[in-house]
Amino acid sequence: MKRGDVIRYVDMTISEGFSIQRGMNSNINGRDYSIILMSVRRNAPYADRFEENGTTIIYEGHDVQSNYIVDGRNPKDIDQPMTTPSGGLTENGRFYQMAKQYVQGLPAKIVKVYEKIKAGIWVYNGYFILTNAWIEQSGDRNVFKFKLEMLDEEIATKEENDTTNLELEHNRLIPTGVKVEVWRRDKGKCVKCGSTINLHYDHIIPFSKGGSSTTAANIQLLCARCNLKKHDKIE
């Protein structure tokens, strides 16, 4: 899987080998990476955002589980929890602990990021490292914030023997608004052959040759076959 691939939820679960039911998933099944699901869409449940031209993510922690609330309050009115009622760490707590270990000088933890751009449609945003975490006030409650910085895909996928020169033009994330605009404009199909499977957000002028990631005019949907044919040639 390459950064910028457009996938369905089922593709995500097949790729990861388990049904992803929550947004924060720390070191699942002995993996050497964690997984987060994010969204910066209007009315998204959490205030995730991109910074530094998409190379940094500020990810909001998750609310208390409704089954832990005994007084009927709305989870959005309660501080996001570090621990469960039994004293174990929540996913917030686990990610917070991993981030603070990095701040203290231990190796950074790797996180794979999937972004929801519309109902049923996700984009693989690649590997990031978890570099910091803090708690801040939001309205009348406290929420967790996590900082993730983009990791070079060539390093992250080295063990998968899966890196190609196509990675070079995807070392900057395409803003969500551009992804949504391109998806609508290209009608969810490859602009070359009309395929609706194995789609990818492609730079018309490659990033490595000065092409922009921030304008829909330079981004198109291509299927994997057409993307491989194109490589890094300027059309």
Residue 220: its pLDDT value, please?
A: 95
Q: What is the pLDDT of residue 172?
A: 64
Task: Give 4's pLDDT tier (boundaries 50, 70, 90).
Answer: confident
Write down the pLDDT at residue 53: 80
Domain locations in the chain as residue ranges: 6-164, 174-230
Average pLDDT over all residues of the chain: 88
For residue 27, the one-letter residue type is: N
Tell me: domain 6-164, CATH 1.10.10.520, correct?
no
**What percent of the chain shows pLDDT beyond 70?**
89
pLDDT mean over 179-204: 93
Could you tell me the pLDDT band of residue 222, with boundaries at 50, 70 and 90? very high
| The predicted structure's pLDDT at residue 166 | 39
CA distance 178 to 213: 8
Q: What does the alpha-carbon distance between residue 106 and residue 29 come to, in Å, rounded to a whole number?
A: 22
Nearest to 118, CA basis, from 177, 170, 64: 177
Most confident of 1-15, 29-43, 135-149: 135-149
Q: Give 37-95 pLDDT, tens digit per residue.
A: 999 998 899 999 999 888 899 999 999 998 899 888 999 999 999 999 999 999 999 99
Give residue 43's region: left, alpha or beta (phi > 0; psi -120 to 50): left
d(C-alpha 195, C-alpha 37), whole Å: 26
pLDDT band, residue 209 (cuts 50/70/90)? confident
pLDDT of 158 reads 44
* Residue-level pLDDT at 231: 66
pLDDT one-digit tens code per residue, 141-186: 999 999 999 987 544 444 443 434 334 444 467 888 899 999 999 9
User: Would the pLDDT of 36 be above 80?
Assistant: yes
